[in-house]
Amino acid sequence: MRVSAKVDYAVRAVVELASRHAADGVPRPVKGDAIASAQHIPVKFCENILAELRGAGIVASRRGSDGGYWLAVDPATVVVADLVRVVEGPLAAVRGVRPSEVEFEGSAAPLRDLWVATRASLRRVLDKVTIADLVAGELPPEVARLLDDEGAWQAKEVGISSGSGFPTDSVDMDEESG
């Protein structure tokens, strides 16, 4: 899965707002440029993302000198998948179509099940982790356990070591021949 800058920025902006969310429930507006600065997000990009989140009812805003943005909902009720869906659409899509709606023929027929399983895997994480979890710095136990999986912290390159059968190093033909 490729996490776009837009998704990354949306999550970071909402986490920033949630970290400033008042325990007493009284919204304390935060200026868009302050959110952008705190999270190193380009200001205009941040403002556009916040507008999308406002349209979805996750963020509220007020204009003026005492204006800004705040969470319109409890951070414990917003999961990361909600943010992905607001700013990018479905968690998984195959050529712009939901995995359960694609059809393949012949030898490619099993691909629909692969893409549906991939979406289910993404949901196992992104539909479980709330913004409140991220602010607290703790993932739900079932998600945190994934961090202990063998290879979770290592990048996999295309190559023999990844099981793909593709060579990882170039071969000098002169050395091979002799």
Give residue 169's pLDDT: 45
| Spatial CB neighbours of 92, under 8 Å, sequence gap ≥ 6 | 1, 98, 99, 115, 118, 119, 122
In a domain? residue 157: no
In a domain? residue 37: yes
Task: List, in sequence order, every residue forming a beta bridge with 94; answer none if it has no partner.
Answer: 97
Q: What pLDDT digit, counting tens, does each position of 39-89 carry?
A: 999 999 999 999 999 999 999 999 998 899 999 999 999 999 999 999 999
Task: Write the DSSP assignment of 47-98 as a string of letters.
Answer: HHHHHHHHHTTSEEEE-STT-EEEESS-GGG-BHHHHHHHHH-SS--BTTB-
What CATH number should be reported for the domain holding residue 80?
1.10.10.10
In a domain? residue 167: no
- How far apart, in whole angstroms, are the C-alpha atoms of residue 48 and residue 44? 6
In a domain? residue 50: yes
Q: What pLDDT digit, counting tens, does each position of 116-161 carry?
A: 999 999 999 999 999 999 999 999 999 999 999 988 888 888 765 5
**Torsion from C-alpha of 139, 140, 145, 149, nearest 10 degrees:** -60
Q: What pLDDT digit, counting tens, does each position of 80-126 carry?
A: 999 999 999 998 888 888 888 899 999 999 999 999 999 999 999 99
In a domain? residue 58: yes
In a domain? residue 94: yes
Number of separate domains in the chain: 1
Q: Which is nearest to 18 in space by CA: 63, 62, 56, 58?
A: 58
In a domain? residue 130: yes
Give residue 172's pLDDT: 43
Give residue 174's pLDDT: 45
| 11's tokens | 């999550």
Question: What range defines the domain where residue 140 resides?
Answer: 5-148
Look up residue 93 and give its amino acid: A
Give residue 150's pLDDT: 87
How do strand 59-62 and strand 68-71 relate by DSSP bridges?
A: antiparallel
